[in-house]
Amino acid sequence: MSAGPADIAVDNPADDPADGLPESPAEDAAHPEERAAAMDTLHVLRILRKAGGSLLVQGSLHAQLIRLEWAQEKDRLLKMLMMTLLGFSSLICAMLAVGALALLLSWDTPYRIHVLVALAAMYFGTTWYCWWQFQRLSAASAQAFAATRAELEADLEMLRTSL
């Protein structure tokens, strides 16, 4: 006598095809939060499948925006470096000129003094200008990647409202 499907005992519960399914409507009603969570997950997956292409396009746009803002930030930092180097070189020249001016003030030649005062004023003016530019560029660091942050916040808010 051969064993039919009804005569075979299931030793491993994982092999039972009906495992995990509710036995009766009463058992199904006993876990409504699990069923709601499964439905929410399926709903989210359907939305993501439908919006997959749009999400890729949006991600691409964000990547382009980040690249643009990174290039602008690199340019700003390079300008800050150049202004710092020019400012320090002007400061060194100004200090040398002031030293030479102090030395020349003891001499009795009025033309040398005027020239050195003009050079010292020019170096101090250049140093002040570089410091002013450096401060202006440093203040712009708070605005770095502002457009990217705003776009990401808007996208997150849109996703929160749609889900």
Nearest to 71 by CA among 145, 134, 152: 145
Q: What is the pLDDT of residues 44-99, one digit of tens each?
A: 777 777 777 777 788 888 888 888 888 988 998 899 999 999 998 998 888 888 87
Higher pLDDT, 21 or 157: 157
Q: Residue 151 pLDDT > 60, yes or no?
A: yes
Shared domain for 80 and 147, answered yes or no, is yes
Question: Do 130 and 92 fall within a single domain?
Answer: yes
Residue 116's contacts (CB-CB under 8 Å, 6 or more residues apart) are: 97, 100, 101, 104
Say which DSSP state 155 is in: H
Is the residue at 115 inside a domain?
Answer: yes
Is residue 52 included in any domain, yes or no?
no
Structure tokens that stand for 84 in this block: 């710092």
54 occurs within a structural domain: no
pLDDT at 116 over 90: no
Looking at the structure, do residues 153 and 101 belong to the same domain, yes or no? yes
Is residue 149 located within the same domain as residue 96?
A: yes
Q: What percent of the chain has pLDDT over 70?
A: 73
Give the total number of structural domains in the chain. Answer: 2
The domain in which residue 80 lies consists of 68-162
pLDDT at 12: 47
Tokens of residue 96, six digits: 């040398």
Give 16's pLDDT tier (boundaries 50, 70, 90): very low
Are residues 75 and 33 located together in one domain of the fold? Answer: no
Over residues 1-30, the mean pLDDT reads 48
**Domain match, 78 and 109 both:** yes
* 22 and 81 together in one domain: no
- 35 and 88 part of one domain: no
**Residues sharing a CB contact under 8 Å with residue 125, sequence separation 6 or more, in sequence order:** none
Q: Is residue 100 domain-shared with residue 155, that is, in the same domain?
A: yes
- Based on the fold, state whether residues 37 and 111 are members of the same structural domain: no
Predicted local distance difference test score (pLDDT) of residue 83: 92
Residue 93 lies in a domain: yes
**Same-domain check for residues 157 and 86:** yes
Same domain flag for 41 and 83: no
